[in-house]
Structures are given as C-alpha cells and as structure tokens.
Amino acid sequence: MAVSTLQLVELVLHGAAFLCGIACASALTVAQGEFGGWCILYGTVSWNGTVLVPKPSSHLSLCYFISGVSIVVALYCFSSLLYGIFGCCTGESQWDRSWLRVTLVVTIIILFFLLISACILRVGMDVFCASIMETKRVSSCRDAQHESWASYSPVHFYSNLSSAQSSAWVTVFLWCLLTARLLVQRRQEPRILLLRHNDPECSAEAEATFGGNLIRP
C-alpha cells in the first residue's frame, strides 16, 4: 500500500519529537551533573571574592519532572513511530473513530505538560543567569562557564541548559503540529465518510490521501 503524505508527515514529526525529547533530558542531566547532581534552576549565585558560589534552591524533583516528561514523550513518540511504520508496511488502518478521539485527548494532555516543563526550564534558567549577572563578575551568563566555581567545574552548564531549553521548545512546536494534524483528520472524517457513501471513486481518492484511515459505514 502506498504511503500517504499525512502518514509521512506524522512519522517525521514523531521521529523529530523523539530525538528532541532525548536531547532535552540528556542535556539537563549533564548540566545537573556539573553541579554535583543539584537542580540549579531558580538557584542563586554569589561571589566570595575568589570564586562563584552556587546556591541551588530548587528541589531535585523539579529537574526530574522536566527530564521525566521529556523521556515519557520520547518513549511515546518512539512507540508511535514504530506503530506508524508497521501500519505503512502492512497497510492496516491506524485508528478507528473512537481511538482517534482518545489519541487526540492524550496528545493535548502531553502538550500541556510539555508546555509547563518548557516554561519551568526557561524561567528557571533566566533566574539562575540573572543571579550570576548580579555578581558583576561576568558580562554574560555564557562567560560564567570560564570562571572558577566553588566545589564544581561547570564548564558547559550554559550550553547544556540552552540545548535543553531549545529542545524543549522545539518539542512543544512539533507536538502542536501533531495536534493540528489530528484535529484536521477529525474534522475531515464526516466529509470523507459522506464521499465514501455517495461516490466510491471519490472515496478511493480520499482513502489514498489519508492513508487508509477511513471508517466504513
């Protein structure tokens, strides 16, 4: 069975979201490791005259929440990717009408948690960098990577946090596209079902476009 354009788009979006989720969780974990495992989001930094002294103020669960959401979404995307490839190879319909509604609800819930984790990461990083700037020791948060720190050597913390933040927002964007794709499919269903009932030739063309996800009346 020929693979439709929408199916290919969905596979690409799931694959990209999987990679971004893994990248976000990995970068944030490495940034934590540079500070002895502490969650530095919303943390403060002081200057003791010799080195920068970090004072993590967030509980570890905050960073674990962001990493956990990213990993869960990545696993979900990977499973959806494998199922989508299986559906393309076998020509089986991916979702019936009831499963489409369930998938749409799950997708919206995931998007909600992705948005929350991305906002936490963005604001938490801004607060931490603002505290670094208040020490008047560096001209930018990035330059703090080259400064001496008390007890730690976070030579890539800014790069890792920036990578995690970028990956998180890209995942949100990709998930918005996936949600929009499901909404479009849901809105198209009544019209496609009517075409299938009234005109078999038109319904065959619609089926080829939407990858065989039509429900027979």
* Confidence (pLDDT) at 96: 54
Question: Of 112 and 94, which is predicted with more confidence?
Answer: 112
pTM: 0.81
Query: Which helix or strand (DSSP H or E) is residue 52 part of?
Result: strand 52-55
DSSP string, the chain: -PPPHHHHHHHHHHHHHHHHHHHHHHHHHHHHHHTTT---TT-EEEE-SSSEEEE--S-HHHHHHHHHHHHHHHHHHHHHHHHHHHHHHHT--S--HHHHHHHHHHHHHHHHHHHHHHHHHHHHHHHHHHHHHHTTS-SSTGGGGGS-BSS---TTHHHHHHHHHHHHHHHHHHHHHHHHHHHHHHHHHHHHHHHHHH-HHHHHHHHHHTTT-PPP-
Q: pLDDT band at 214, cuts 50/70/90?
A: very low
Average pLDDT over residues 137-146: 90
Confidence check: pLDDT of 94 > 90: no
pLDDT digits (tens, 9 = 90+) for 10-21: 889 999 999 999
Residues facing residue 54 across a β-bridge: 45
Average pLDDT over residues 193-198: 46
Structure tokens at 98: 């009831």
* Confidence (pLDDT) at 192: 43
